[in-house]
Chain A
Amino acid sequence: MRSWTFFLSALGVGLVFFLAALGLGNDYVFFAGYVVLQYIVLATAWNILGGYCGYVNFGTAAFFALGAYSSVALHKLGANVNRYASGFLADILHLILPLSLPSLVIVGGIVSGIVGLGMGYLTLRLRGVFFAIATLAMAVVLQTLMINWDFVGGSRGAYVIRPNSISAGPVTLSYIEYLFLVMLVLAVVALTVARLIERSRLGIGFSTIRDDEMAAEAAGVPTLRLKLIATMISGAFMGMAGAPLPYYLGYIEPSSAFGLPYAVNSIAMPMIGGTTSWVGPLIGAILLGSLQQIATVTISSAVNLLIVGVLLVAFVIIAPAGIVGLVESWRRTRARAAS
């Protein structure tokens, strides 16, 4: 299937879900669905570096929060242009701000992508465990930075008042429906990009890095450049996933935006789904994400991470290649039995 066909059919499937949820007439579906979609983006983004290249990133929350905070900063600047700028600069800012949600998503992606590139440049000479530790350290550094940056609320946090609804032409959507829709499109874009990478020369290069960097270099693969591309794309999507967060929550503060669950989930979801293909993070995110949402309303929100932990341990022991790996090995044995 060509990428455009894939993109459009995935978008079609997503829209069917969206319309079905609209038909239900229950806002909760959108609140829960938004989180699942957000995890599809995060898991897919993590997998581009972690699954395809084999570099485990513990700093997902940092890229994610960076996207969220760039939205907060632009939102605040947009609301108080005259306080922070004057003259010509103010005129320009008035012209640009406030940015629409899709533009904020793009800005969040650019900011996190650049930080990803920078982090990659500093840390990609490290391998394995050392790289993982470096990403964790980066998350802590960025969190400290946000705690001390008063403009975006510091440790107090910042409120973002979202509009009630948004209309385009004859269509009027409540804001949560709009957020869901934006995240849906983003998830489809992320999956399309991941799938495109997987089937391209770039994806083959990424797998060689995961398998054996020395042999990859000997075959002519510019490993450092490829790893930088991977951290950049991965970071950018994480930032894009975070950009709408302030509008979703209405309030944001460092310890929740940089929360451990984002990092843990975006590792666990691809691991459980399977890291070698774009399908894995999708399955993992839908499965774990929905399970967490169900647990939140039926048991308690504290059970979430417990579920993730138990499932992760179970999968690492029973099916290290994830659900996709299980299905593949089952198909292989069936094919062998048939022949």
Chain B
Amino acid sequence: MSQAPLLEVKGVGKRFGGFVALEDIDLDVKEGERLGLIGPNGSGKSTLVNCVCGTLHNETGSVRFAGQALDGLPAHRRTHVGLARSFQLPRPFMSMRVVDNLRVPLLYTVRRRSLLISSQKELDDRCMELLRQVGLDAKAKRMPSDLTQVEMRKLELARAMAAEPKLLIADEAMAGLSHSEIEDIIALLLRLNAQGVTIIMIEHIMRAVMSFSQRLAVLVSGRKIADGAPADVVNNPEVVSAYLGQ
């Protein structure tokens, strides 16, 4: 018995003027899976994320999530149904304190689904708990402009987690992080995954991707050239040539 995939990307294509950013992408992600999405710079990884999350609209193909067609839905509706993403370049809400940044998805997404966090105290506790998980609790009352680039990435990830997604897309959440910080983030993502969150990790740091992913998909120039077990994919000659050049 095969279970219907949580995320179903079928024939998705996107162009910017004459430039084909994505062409006929098929990608299924099963519930609870940990998928690594890799590819050289400019291969269309972030564009694919943007099409899935509704920031951009794909011209061809369709995206289904949890059995529901997402086509035409604005980004915030997709967040409500359980998709969350972190941005590759952190986009914190600059006028709000770090802790208040997390309040936004809690108020606008989580509270829609349940009445669990109704009191101010519960809200504050939840924000602090999330900050603790990414190691930003000491900076809770600071402004985002006081954070380093690395800390902003952590904030970005915490804000995506705050929406309590079914599927979390971490778009280069680890770039620039130190060795031990990468370990921390991976451990955090694994913990989330163990709680049932499906995760797509987009990353250049191969060590992180290899240790995290159960499956690897490779994009090159807007096409998916490989999809399968990580060990097989990295030995795939097409992938090797795309990365190393021929």
Contacts and interface: CB of A to CB of B under 8 A. Distances in A.
Given A204-B100, A207-B93, A207-B95, A224 B74 contact: yes
Q: With a 10 A CB-CB cut-off, give which of B54, B92, B104 has the most chain A CB atoms.
A: B104
A94 interface: no
Contact of A221 (B76, B91, B92, B100): B76
B76 A208 contact: no
Interface in A243-260: none
A208 B91 CA distance: 11
A207 B92 CA distance: 12
A222 B107 CA distance: 12
Interface string A181-221: 00000000000000000000100110110111011111111
A123 interface: no
A205 B105 CA distance: 10
A216 B54 contact: no
Contact of A201 (B75, B85, B94, B108): B108
Contact of B107 (A204, A214, A276): A204
A195 B182 CA distance: 43
Nearest to A201: B107
Give the contact-size bracket for chain B.
Answer: 20 to 34
A217 B108 CA distance: 10
Contacts of B112: 220
B93 A222 contact: no
Nearest to B85: A218
B30 interface: no
A224 B93 CA distance: 18
A293 interface: no
B74 A217 contact: yes
B109 interface: yes
A230 to B, nearest CB: 15
A223 interface: yes
B62 interface: no
A217 B54 contact: yes
Given A220-B163, A222-B74, A222-B76, A212 B91 contact: yes
B95 A276 contact: yes
A214 B93 CA distance: 10
Contact of A211 (B80, B93, B109): B93
Chain A contact residues: over half helix, strand or loop, or mixed? helix
A204 B104 CA distance: 7
B55 A219 contact: no
Nearest to A212: B91
Nearest to B77: A222
Nearest to B54: A217
Nearest to B86: A218
A220 B103 contact: no
B61 to A, nearest CB: 21
B212 interface: no
B91 A217 contact: no
Contact of B80 (A201, A208, A215, A220): A220
Given A201-B108, A212-B91, A219 B163 contact: yes
Contacts of A220: 76, 79-80, 104-105, 108-109, 112, 163
Contacts of B85: 218
B101 to A, nearest CB: 9
Contacts of B91: 212, 214-215
A218 B96 contact: no
B180 to A, nearest CB: 28
A217 B54 CA distance: 9
A207 B96 contact: yes
B174 to A, nearest CB: 19
Interface in A221-235: 221-224
Contacts of A224: 74
A214 B94 contact: no
Interface in B58-80: 74-77, 79-80
Given A204-B103, A222-B74, A224-B74, A217 B79 contact: yes
B84 interface: yes
B79 A218 contact: yes
Nearest to B75: A217
B175 to A, nearest CB: 18
Contacts of A216: 76, 93, 104
B108 A218 contact: no
A208 B93 contact: yes
Interface in B87-124: 87, 91-96, 100, 103-105, 107-109, 112
B105 A217 contact: no
Nearest to B159: A219
B76 A215 contact: no
Nearest to A225: B76
B202 interface: no
Contacts of A223: 76
A224 B54 CA distance: 14
Interface of A: 201, 204-205, 207-208, 210-212, 214-224, 276
Given A218-B79, A220-B80, A276-B95, 7 more contacts: A205-B108, A211-B92, A212-B94, A216-B76, A219-B163, A220-B104, A221-B104
15 contacts: A205-B104, A207-B96, A211-B93, A211-B94, A214-B75, A214-B87, A214-B91, A217-B76, A218-B160, A219-B162, A220-B79, A220-B108, A220-B163, A221-B104, A222-B77
The 8 A-B pairs at the shortest CB distance, nearest first, are namely: A220-B109, A217-B75, A215-B91, A220-B79, A220-B108, A211-B93, A219-B105, A219-B104
